[in-house]
Amino acid sequence: MSGYIFGINDAEYHCRNCFNLQVAQIKSVSDKYLKELTKLNRELDDEDLEKITKKDLLNKKLNCLKEIKKAKWPQISTSILFGNFIASIMKQKRENQVKYMILCWDKTPYYHKTAIENYKGDRYNAADRLQEIEEELKDETLTATERDILNLEKYIAQYDQDNFWKYQEVKRSFIEKDDWNNAGFYSIYKRGYEADQLAYMLSSIIAEKYKKDKKTNCVLLSADKDWANFQKPGVVFTSTWSGNLADRHYGNLTEEWDDFHKLYRQFAKKQKLKEDWKDITRYEYGILKELISSSHNNATLYDETDDDFKDVLTEKYIEQLIELGGKNRRVLKPQAKRMAETEMFFRIINKCKNKKFSSYELLKKAFVAMNINLGKTIDNGYCDNIGTSYVDDIKPLCMSALKNCNKYKRGTIINLCEEHEISVNMMNYSTFVKSLKGV
């Protein structure tokens, strides 16, 4: 295939990545001290430290923080962030030979966060850290060194918070200004949804069209491997991860899914629980894997429960494998664990409860909340159509994006560049908008 009609782009990730790279470059002058600070914090986490050792470590930490403050990091430049993000989008469109690019963004508060309270809760938040520091500074028993350390940590957190708002300024510009749409950078967002959910909805619409004409195709562009689970007829996934792909295991994602699906169907056919069992889609597999197995979004809800059903099942399957000739329990355990997870996935998909599966209802609720095909809007403080299905809520938006993402107004980019003091390679930009319908 020489190219794609549509490109569905994880703009939230790519803009944040440009931001992170810019901040990292600014902070690189303090790399030596930042690494030392990480090491000291790890050592100070030891609750059994002797007083003398702790005092020594705290003094080293204070000196380290003083050196970091001396560097006087400048704030990031929104002009540079605009330029770097634009360049990355143009590059991805050019390299993947995409005609029409749609940029997907997150917009909190997410509807599914009510079912997964700690969703993405493990990620550093400068505002939360500032609040924690203010509370800690109220402690009258703090030593002078501890107080000085907290004030210097407050300085760093405030720097991060100020930069975050600069990032938000760039993001808001893309999602709120129609001028960017008119310049060829067509954005899509809706409060309550992640870029992932919008991308899946777009994929579903395009796949239906592809089934009819065998022509309408699409490439999903993200560094998030979860997006590989959105692939459908006419829709493929290409990783934009710039590092070593082997480190992110992109190469065997489809193989992992195929192996699981085979195991799932083998398990299902042997069940007397439900003769008319329901198969699982790759999209559903991705959601349940996050909830039960592993997640980079801190969404592994099962780990937060007291449920030991997975362990019970794992032991059951180890015994079964031994009966079939297996000998080493340690070697058999990974396979038995996969079999246990397969049964758990099957039970949730097919609504097969088990009194020992105590987290079943919790996981089922979260599965529905995360699933575009099953979820419904809730009162998150902003929703004016509570109880509407996700599909009905965002499908019109996605349909409109697919219809209008090919249009742009000549000259708009010049005004945007002047407004935000952006430097853009106009030769690359001309290539970028060549496939669009200018007016």
Domains of the chain with bracketed CATH: 4-239+389-432 (3.40.50.1010), 252-370 (no CATH)
Q: Which band of pLDDT confidence, cut at 50, 70 and 90, is reported for residue 118?
A: low
Contact 196, 12 (CB under 8 A): no
**pLDDT at position 1, please?**
44
pLDDT, tens digit (0-9, with 9 covering 90-100), for 408-421: 999 999 999 999 99
Mean pLDDT along residues 187-213: 96
pLDDT surpasses 90 at 192? yes
Mean pLDDT along residues 143-148: 95
Mean pLDDT along residues 77-93: 97
Position of tokens 């030979």?
A: 97
More confident residue, 188 or 253: 188
Mean pLDDT along residues 356-374: 94
pLDDT, tens digit (0-9, with 9 covering 90-100), for 121-131: 456 788 899 99
Beta strands in 376-421, from DSSP E residues, in sequence order: 407-408
Q: Which band of pLDDT confidence, cut at 50, 70 and 90, is reported for residue 326?
A: confident
pLDDT, tens digit (0-9, with 9 covering 90-100), for 18-71: 999 999 999 999 999 999 999 999 999 888 888 888 899 999 999 999 999 999
Contact 133, 387 (CB under 8 A): no
> What is the C-alpha separation between 383 and 387, in angstroms, rounded?
9
Beta strands in 184-282, from DSSP E residues, in sequence order: 186-188, 218-222, 235-239
**pLDDT at position 276, please?**
78
More confident residue, 298 or 376: 376
Alpha-carbon distances of 388 from 375, 376, 379, 381, 392, rounded to whole Å: 9, 5, 11, 15, 7
Mean pLDDT along residues 250-273: 86
**pLDDT at position 77, please?**
96
